[in-house]
Structure 1
């Protein structure tokens, strides 16, 4: 239902009376907006996975090693404060039957392990309060496309038609910028915040017991 409602909101915001945008273009714009929303408002999923015993643990049902990411692992359960594995205590490990979590601790067979993870956002996952923001982002993508199309229509010769086309292109570009600001304002995102251009490098070091550490890596 959310996807249909979002498409209706997008249509209202763009007001493409000349039908310049195809249904496929609108779908792609919505997909981009949902993807961006997922980055700006990531939602976590918490799943208890029953261990088979040993250092390997299956990923939760529905987990895709290429698109999902593990945020944390708690084991054993029931501790206060909660007993969470540090990032260097586990890693992604590929076996002949697929990807598993390989941990530096041994899980008891039949015991639950709590895995917190993130999965790609879907349109139907977006709460009602944020539908307008997502529609605004998609509208901005489509208005940018209309602005580019109108700018590309201009001829090298200065004619009345080219002037009108250029004006229309600028109008679309301004409306796109407005809708993009609307997205940020509705979600409370400060676009003026500037992050430092630094890089964090994780350097391998020996654990306190002299053994090799586990590193939290993703498949490439």
Structure 2
């Protein structure tokens, strides 16, 4: 979905008739939605890459250091059924300055050969959202925005005269309830509560005997 269309979907769910939200609020909510989606359902891409010297793999085009992880490596390519390298024979190696290398152990394939890497990659805009997930993601964005509107009305009631305070409190409760409903819709779709801090990447625990080597 195009970014502006997705933003419009979020704001239409909020029903901010008093125009309390700014364009910056909507952009911030979208950024939070993208971050959450990357934690819950990152992209899964496949690319054929070459094995270089020292069994270092060419990094896939959409790989993001510290966020992407290797799912599978097919080698050699094209067997029926496919032949996959076991997890004990590939790893992500940390380099200085937050860089990484993807490496195979010697003997898996030869230098210069191609292997097929399936890996996770980050969403950066609604354009990469799965179409079936867009409604739930818009609900999460709307929940974030409704929470903001509820907080604004709550603040207004603290500084307004008593006659206006009741009205602001009612609106604040309405938006807070709306936020809970939209958040529940997201959680129903993904089966994960949004109140917990999800990891930013899928993690695999390395063998204690292989210092400096890890899969993510």
TM above 0.5: yes
Task: Render the CA deviation track for 1:22-66: whole Å, top value 9, x for unaligned.
Answer: 101101111212332333333310111022344222211232213
- Structure 1: segments with no counterpart, 5+ residues: 192-199, 206-211
The 5-angstrom pairing of residues 121-136 of structure 1 reads: 121=123, 122-136=125-139
Give distance in 2, aligned partners of 1:54 and 1:203. 21
Structure 2 equivalent of residue 84 of structure 1: 84
Which segment drifts farther, 130-139 or 19-28?
130-139
Name the SS of the counterpart of 2:158 in structure 1: coil
The structure 2 residue matched to 1:111, chosen from 97, 110, 113, is: 113
Give distance in 2, aligned partners of 1:25 and 1:111. 49
- Structure 2: segments with no counterpart, 5+ residues: 194-203
**What is the number of residues matched between the two proteins?**
204
Instruction: Report which of the two has the higher share of helix.
Output: 2
Give distance in 1, aligned partners of 2:152 and 2:160. 17
The 5-angstrom pairing of residues 95-174 of structure 1 reads: 99-106=100-107, 107-121=109-123, 122-155=125-158, 159-174=162-177
Q: Is the 8 A contact 2:147 2:179 kept in 1?
A: yes
| Larger Rg computed on CA atoms | 1
TM-score of the two chains, using structure 1 as the length reference: 0.78
Give distance in 2, aligned partners of 1:55 and 1:114. 14
TM-score of the two chains, using structure 2 as the length reference: 0.79
Q: Is the 8 A contact 1:13 1:139 kept in 2?
A: yes
Structure 2 equivalent of residue 204 of structure 1: 208
Following superposition, the deviation at residue 100 of structure 1 comes to: 1.8
Give distance in 2, aligned partners of 1:14 and 1:214. 47
Structure 2 equivalent of residue 47 of structure 1: 47
Task: Render the CA deviation track for 1:156-202: whole Å, top value 9, x for unaligned.
Answer: 898232222222111110011111122234x26375xxxxxxxx965
RMSD: 3.0
Q: Is the 8 A contact 1:77 1:114 kept in 2?
A: yes
In structure 2, relative to structure 1, the CA distance for the partners of 1:15 and 1:201 (3 Å cut) is same
